[in-house]
Amino acid sequence: MLYKSEMRANSADGSQVKKIEKFKVLSADTEIGNDFKDPELMRLKLDMAKEFTRVYRENAGEHRAIREAKCLAAQYPALCRKIVKGDLFAGRAHYFPLVGFGLEIYSHSGVRGIMVDDLAGDQVTEETKIFRERLGASNTGYFYDYSALKEAIRTLELDGPEKQEAEEIIRFWWEESSRYKYNKLLPKDITDYVDRTDFDLKLASTFFRVGCASVGFDPLLRKGIPGMKTYISEKNSSVAPDSDAAGLYTGMLMALDVLVSVCGRYEKEALEMAAVETDGAYKAELLKMAEVLSNITVRKPENTREALQLFWLYNLLTQTLNYGRMDEYIGDFYVRDIDGGFATDEDILKLLKSLWKIINDLMIDGLFNSAANNRIILGGKGRRNPENADRFALIAMEATRQTYYAEPNVTLRFCKEQNPLLMKKALDLVGEGCIHPSLYNDDAYIPYVAETFGVSPEEAEHYIPEGCGEIVLDHRGIGSPNALFNYLTLLDLVLHNGYYTNLGEQKSLKLGELSDFDTFDKLLEAVKKQIDFTHGVLARRQALEVKFEGENHAYLFMSMLTYDCIEKGRSLMDRGARYLGGIIESFGITNLADSLYAIKELVYEKKRFTLEKIVEMLDADFKGYEAERQLMLSLPKFGNDHEGVDGFHTELTKFINQNVNERGKAAGLDYYLVCNLNPGGITYANVTKASADGRRYGDPMAVGNAPTAGRDQNGMTALLNSMLKHNKNHGGYVHNLKVSKSMFSPENRKKLETLLKSYFDQGGIQLMITTLNPDDLRNALKDPEKYANLIVRVGGWTSRYVELEPVYQMEILNRTLYC
Amino acid sequence: MESREHDSRNVKGNIHDLLRCSIHDGPGIRTTVFMKGCPLRCLWCHNPESQETYPELSYSPEKCIGCGKCAEACKHGCHAVKENPHYFDRTNCGRCFACLEVCYKGALKRVGDLKTVDQVLTEVLKDRSYYEESGGGVTISGGEPTMQPVFLKALLKRAKEEGLHTCVETCGQASFDVYLSILEFVDIFLYDFKETDPKLHKRYTGVTHERILDNLFALDGRNAATILRCPIVPGLNDDKEHLKGIAKIASGLDNIIEVNVMPYHPYGNTKGVHVGRAPRLEGIKAPKEETVEGWMDLLRSLTGVWVCRG
């Protein structure tokens, strides 16, 4: 999530001025900026903020779950957006509340915060300090938007008592927001090393959020709202009335009432719209929608439409963008509709295409750009109804094929015993340039998930990639990716004895002068110590955050559908979820391995240069050393099936993956993992110094388990073999493959299929295929309008190529195209 | 016996390239080993850097960064960095390849390396699982592999010992004894047939096709499965007579399992220039898709053998 905004945080040349300009433009494009142009909406949000604050204050003494439920009732349906003409489902939200409660919220203040994040010391104003100390781009729990509230006072021209009241809200949340309370908790050694700020973009960023979360909709859809209420009430009556669990259950029941009131609000609106609708067909749809909304409040859903509507509204209140294994929870409804003759595939496709549109519109609807990665999982082991689920999976993929949207991010898990039609359909889509689905190989992945998460193989069957591909155990665990770390910069720290040349300060451990590294092993040891130190700091920060969230937020909608919250009577982050862990988004590991390998060869084996000389070249960004840079580029690189460098890469990733998990467990987490999914390898790279793999300052780093763009020059099998060697005990790595459309021609497709099959049979865990004609990208740059619909896979997320920033466009262009 | 076995593994061949994940040189996914040296000089040659038997220096001006290190290293005065990017006269090149060592960017490259059978095989075996899944294997191509018969036989024998599917791509211009010596180790011959008219054949390739056809028929007599590979160059051999000639051979022989139409492409020209050979065909463009389809349709109307693009 959020990486599109992360990517925006840096302009191609890294200049601060451009960055701020960019955010101004960005802010104006989305609801976050449009708010201020729409007094009616601003007024709505302000009224909601007042009511929310009042409820929050009045319930100070209440159990946290009950207080939260009451606050949610002040938030919804107030923040429900009107039904958009053409929609077959109700449920769009206004994002960016001025005050509110959420799982993962980004704010106007957050955007302002990013804008001032890396101002030089003399540019830091009082206001900037406020952003740094009290706010952050990412938020969870109780939240207020400092900047937007101030802007609201100004644009609504508030005066007198109204103005006073708004200012009082700001003052109240000044001390009371979850973000500020959490910021206060962080010890100095943590903030010193990884800063407090989101989007530091040089060495590390940290987030305060519950991201990459999904619930299990199955119980909700099988029981319905009334059934859930009965179930929770029974639990409630079995515990002591004054117990913590009783408070939680009461909060849950109240939260379900919020859901019912949201259904009621939309039912009323659908009927009102139907009364004035002139298009007969859509009028009928609105009446149907109202009927569905009414039905799901009084009984369990009985057909696909009802099930999808209930899922969607519940999800709206959960505030996640991950929809879990939709084929499992919708499959039975779908089969019942089709086999019972109640609906045709055409009917269901119409519904899915409408839902897909609403999901794809999330970006336009103002969820900033963080709406990327609305993940729907299809296929795979561990579903209770594989036959029905498979049938639904096929029609869901067809909806994706017909809509050709960048979202939702449809994902196919597959295994040997699975219906081969699913893979065939998936490759049909990919071959047409659909990008989706990405492919996950259960047979290879599940044993690794079991080992990495320390769970049984049966439990590991519930792994799913969330967001950009972070692996979690579906509605069993939370492992929010709340730290980003640049491992390539870490090498620069070691080569300067902990001195951070980018900022000009002593940043980390003093592990030795260059002259101390008289053997490669000593250098490698220092790098490992720095990695270990980093993992330790980040793990402690994650554990602190998890504890804070558990103590302060009940996350009611998440808790109701996450194992084993109801059973235990504990909320999500209060050890209600079966597993509480975390994930580091890593960047630059491939470049770190390639660079260390180059240093090993040039300094210690061939003795071409001293280590001091190499550091001099890197510090000079190779100015005056172009020939030497070429020499570094010519050395073996990951991605070519070269035993030496691949072997080193494997050893290094194995160390990283083991070390981070050890550090996490020592900090009290159930697991702590590293993933590499996003083009932070491009964003971070913008401000990452030159490296010994021949990379200049600002050049992109590798994305996921892939070589740096264009460094793979030994054919597709060599690339796949390199990828296969990567240590797999991680929290998700993406494997991008760019192939020519000609590979899907009738004479070649069989060969491509066997190539993929062989890769997966050998243990390949994941693949994301972008299919293009050889000149598509170049032509798109020349003639963007003609290629407006060209979708590409960036990292864990997809985008329209022409909408990407130039630095991203170039990175994707430079990736090797396999023909 | 043991020492002879040892020897055959250490036989060296002059290899100019090794292409992994090749899907156009025989069935399935393959690794193609390109051997250096060819007895033909086809006007359209798409691997001109493979023609000579000796190792050559290839220079790609577009890669040169003008660092001048090659001029310092060269004892024969071939390199000079006076002009942009740099002046290279290969007349006096002593093939010492000293300049390669200092050309970090890789603008200078050696074409043709002596490699042992085992060195080649180690690389080939890295993709074994892809071969097994796809029915692929190793293809020995060139140049003309039969010009290095000892190495060719040793490599094929070892490949067979490893259970690999093998193809040999050949122009047919060799002593039949060479074919006899490798017959038992080859699953499919990829056999070039370039022109029906003997005079034109000589003009286009430098040799007549007498021996080529004799060998093709002799292989057929020994039940060697063969794919007929036919480069078709617009304006040269895209006439009906030749297409009919192809069909006649394909239908007349018992062991032709497939006909590959290989439309001309000009990509080989640059590679030739890099090793100092000027393009011999100029102004000919790759044929359009419809034209190629037309050739294939005509062939399909004349022979029952499977016709596809190669």
Question: Does residue A150 surpass a pLDDT of 90?
Answer: no
**Across residues A466-486, what is the average pLDDT?**
94
Q: Do A717 and B308 touch (CB under 8 A)?
A: no
**Across residues A758-768, what is the average pLDDT?**
96
Strands, sheet with A438-441, edge to edge from the N-terminal-most edge strand: A322-325, A375-378, A409-414, A438-441, A766-772, A736-740, A817-818
**Chain A residues within an 8 Å CB radius of B22:** 715
Residues 6+ apart with CB under 8 A from A497: A510, A511, A512, A513
d(CA A356, CA A350): 10
d(CA B190, CA B308): 13
d(CA A134, CA A147): 12
**Residues A424, A426, A430: CA angle, nearest 5 degrees:** 115
**Across residues B265-278, what is the average pLDDT?**
86
Q: What is the DSSP letter of A603?
A: I
Q: What is the pLDDT of residue A17?
A: 40
Q: What is the pLDDT of residue B105?
A: 86
**Chain A residues within an 8 Å CB radius of B23:** 748, 751
**Chain A residues within an 8 Å CB radius of B258:** none
Tell me which amino acid residue B103 is: C
Q: In angstroms, how far apart are the furthest CA atoms of chain B? A: 62
- Give this prediction's pTM: 0.91
Question: Does residue A192 surpass a pLDDT of 90?
Answer: no
d(CA A20, CA B144): 62
Residue corresponding to tokens 């859903």 = A301
Q: What is the pLDDT of residue A610?
A: 98
**Across residues A734-744, what is the average pLDDT?**
90
Q: What is the pLDDT of residue A321?
A: 87
Q: What is the pLDDT of residue B218?
A: 97
Q: Do A751 and B29 touch (CB under 8 A)?
A: yes
- List the single residue in B28, B102, B129 with the smallest CB-CB distance to A762: B129
State the sign of the Cα–Cα–Cα–Cα dihedral A266, A268, A271, A273.
Answer: negative
Q: Do A377 and A461 form a contact (C-beta atoms < 8 A)?
A: no
Residue A364 pLDDT grade (very low, low, confident, very high; cuts 50, 70, 90)? low
Tell me the average pLDDT of chain B.
Answer: 92
Q: Does B30 touch chain A (CB under 8 A)?
A: no
The DSSP secondary structure of B177-199, one letter per residue, reads HHHHHHGGG-SEEEEE---SSHH
Q: What is the pLDDT of residue B270?
A: 85
Q: Do B126 and A641 touch (CB under 8 A)?
A: yes
User: Structure tokens of A482?
Assistant: 């709340």
The pLDDT tens digits for B219-269 are 999 999 999 999 999 999 999 999 999 999 999 999 999 999 999 988 888
What percentage of chain A has pLDDT greater than the value 90? 71
The DSSP secondary structure of A628-678, one letter per residue, reads HHHHHHHS--TTS--HHHHHHHHHHHHHHHHHHHHHHHHTT-SEEEEEB-S
Q: Which residues pair with A582 in a beta bridge?
A: A672
Indicate the burial class of B206 (C-beta count within 10 angstroms; 0-12, 13-18, 19 or more): middle
Closest chain B C-alpha to A650 CA, distance in angstroms: 17
Q: Do B104 and A627 touch (CB under 8 A)?
A: yes
Residue A339 pLDDT grade (very low, low, confident, very high; cuts 50, 70, 90)? very high
At residue B141, the 3 state secondary structure works out as strand
Q: What is the pLDDT of residue A1?
A: 26
User: Structure tokens of B113?
Assistant: 């390396």
Q: Does B69 touch chain A (CB under 8 A)?
A: yes
Q: What is the pLDDT of residue A656?
A: 98
Termini Cα distance of chain B: 41
- List the single residue in A721, A747, A759 with the smallest CB-CB distance to B308: A747
CA within 13 Å, CB half, A741: 11
| Of residues A33, A21, A24, A52, the one with CA closest to residue A155 | A33
Q: What is the pLDDT of residue A801?
A: 84
Interface predicted TM-score (ipTM): 0.88
The pLDDT tens digits for B7-62 are 677 899 999 999 999 988 999 999 999 999 999 999 999 899 999 999 999 998 88
Low-confidence winner among B99-108, B126-135, B170-179 (lowest mean pLDDT)? B99-108
**Across residues A147-175, what is the average pLDDT?**
91
Closest chain B C-alpha to A745 CA, distance in angstroms: 12
Chosen from B18, B22, B29 to mutate, greatest number of chain A CBs within 10 A: B29
Residue corresponding to tokens 């598509």 = A776
Closest chain B C-alpha to A751 CA, distance in angstroms: 6
Other C-beta atoms closer than 10 Å to the C-beta of B210 total: 12
Residue A114 pLDDT grade (very low, low, confident, very high; cuts 50, 70, 90)? low
**Chain A residues within an 8 Å CB radius of B20:** 641, 714-718
**Chain B residues within an 8 Å CB radius of A714:** 20
**Across residues A741-768, what is the average pLDDT?**
92
Q: Do A69 and A259 form a contact (C-beta atoms < 8 A)?
A: no
- List the single residue in B105, B126, B134 with the smallest CB-CB distance to A630: B105
- List the single residue in B19, B65, B133 with the smallest CB-CB distance to A758: B133
Q: What is the pLDDT of residue A239?
A: 97
Q: What is the pLDDT of residue A10?
A: 35
**Chain B residues within an 8 Å CB radius of A602:** none
The DSSP secondary structure of A326-368, one letter per residue, reads HHHHHHHHHHHHHHTTS--HHHHHHHHHHHHHHHHTTTTTT-T
What percentage of chain B has pLDDT greater than the value 90? 76
Q: Does A154 touch chain B (CB under 8 A)?
A: no
The pLDDT tens digits for A521-549 are 999 999 999 999 999 999 999 999 999 99
A484 vs B188, residue with greater confidence: B188
Q: What is the pLDDT of residue A742?
A: 87
d(CA A648, CA A271): 65
Region of residue A620 (left: phi > 0; alpha: psi -120 to 50; beta: else) = alpha
d(CA A634, CA A642): 13
Phi, psi of B60 (to 5 degrees): -105, 100
Closest chain B C-alpha to A770 CA, distance in angstroms: 18
A206 vs A235, residue with greater confidence: A235
Residue corresponding to tokens 């206060």 = A184
Question: How many beta-carbon contacts under 8 Å exist across A and B?
Answer: 72
Other C-beta atoms closer than 10 Å to the C-beta of A82 total: 12
Tell me the average pLDDT of chain A.
Answer: 90
Among B residues 259-288, those touching chain A with beta carbons less than 8 Å apart: none
**Residues B32, B36, B39: CA angle, nearest 5 degrees:** 115
Question: Does residue A185 surpass a pLDDT of 80?
Answer: yes
Q: Do B106 and A630 touch (CB under 8 A)?
A: yes
Question: Does residue A313 surpass a pLDDT of 80?
Answer: yes
Q: Does A757 touch chain B (CB under 8 A)?
A: yes
Q: What is the pLDDT of residue B269?
A: 85
Residue A598 pLDDT grade (very low, low, confident, very high; cuts 50, 70, 90)? very high
Q: Do A761 and B308 touch (CB under 8 A)?
A: no
